[in-house]
């Protein structure tokens, strides 16, 4: 298995490029820079009444970074709807390494103690690059995305990159932009003018002030008895728009 250097991976994200594999069993990865890029503007998330109701019910317990390897493994699984996946072992290993370094994060959706949905992605400066999501129960991935958007809003992020548009993401407010428009948004989120990466995991260039964990410092009354942020708080942070 060919390994992906984590420094190279971060540099790729800093210029709008990300890796994919042809299949789960593929040995190699290739680098992708779409002509049209999917983004989800953080103020444009479409919180339907039905999803708001699910969130307020606290049927699901939401956590962050509690089961990162399991979330990636679920995203890489073959399902009846998805007979193969672009997440090969090299990609899975690379993102586990980024997670250990604090550059990759996951959102987990739990129901009665079981992991039933979630997503993961890469954080760089004020940008979050969503990689993949999975759902084993109705609304589990939508709840995870709602939690992510609220978390990014509280944390003062500027960009949520969805890579490619799907009908599912479009229904939640995602849209396509040109490559040039995306690069401008990315540079703004990273706090750089040219998209040029710098050494040392680019820490110096990307001290944007964006904080993935800022939401966890909200007052105790926003939390459920078990500790996580309540669904009602997520709804309030997002605002009901439809």
Predicted confidence (pLDDT) per residue in 85-135, tens digit: 889 999 999 999 999 999 999 999 999 999 999 999 999 999 999 999 999
Does residue 30 sit within a domain?
yes
List phi, psi (to 5°) of 105.
-135, 160
Does residue 77 sit within a domain?
yes
Whether 239 and 47 have beta carbons less than 8 Å apart is answered as yes
- pLDDT-derived band at 28 (thresholds 50, 70, 90) equals confident
pLDDT of amino acid 15: 95
Does residue 195 sit within a domain?
yes
Residue 121 structural domain: 6-238
Taking residue 53's Cβ as centre, other Cβ atoms within 10 Å add up to 13
In percent, the amount of the chain with pLDDT more than 90 equals: 71
Q: Give the number of domains in the chain.
A: 1
Does residue 41 sit within a domain?
yes
Least confident of 104-113, 115-124, 166-175, 197-206: 197-206
Does residue 1 sit within a domain?
no
Does residue 173 sit within a domain?
yes
At 192, which CATH number? 3.40.630.70
Does residue 140 sit within a domain?
yes
């Amino acid at each position: 298995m060919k390994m992906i250097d984590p420094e190279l991976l971060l540099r790729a994200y800093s210029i709008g490029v990300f890796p994919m594999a042809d299949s789960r069993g593929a040995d190699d990865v290739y680098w992708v820079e779409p002509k049209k890029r999917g983004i989800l503007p953080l103020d444009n998330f479409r919180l339907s009444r039905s999803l708001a109701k699910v969130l307020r019910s606290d049927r699901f317990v939401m956590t962050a970074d509690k089961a990162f390897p399991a979330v990636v493994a679920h995203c890489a699984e073959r399902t009846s709807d998805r007979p193969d996946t672009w997440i090969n072992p090299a990609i899975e290993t690379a993102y586990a390494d980024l997670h250990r370094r604090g550059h990759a994060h996951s959102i987990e959706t739990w129901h009665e103690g079981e992991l039933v949905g979630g997503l993961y992605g890469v954080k760089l400066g004020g940008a979050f690059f969503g990689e993949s999501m999975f759902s084993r129960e109705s609304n589990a991935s939508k709840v995870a995305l709602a939690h992510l958007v609220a978390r990014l809003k509280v944390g003062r992020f500027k960009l949520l990159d969805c890579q490619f548009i799907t009908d599912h993401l479009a229904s939640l407010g995602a849209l396509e932009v040109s490559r040039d428009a995306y690069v401008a948004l990315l540079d703004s989120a990273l706090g750089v003018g040219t998209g040029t990466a710098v050494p040392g995991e680019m820490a110096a260039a990307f001290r944007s002030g964006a904080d993935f964990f800022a939401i966890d410092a909200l007052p105790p009354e926003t939390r459920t008895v078990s500790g996580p942020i309540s669904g009602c708080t997520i709804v309030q942070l997002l605002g009901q728009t439809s």
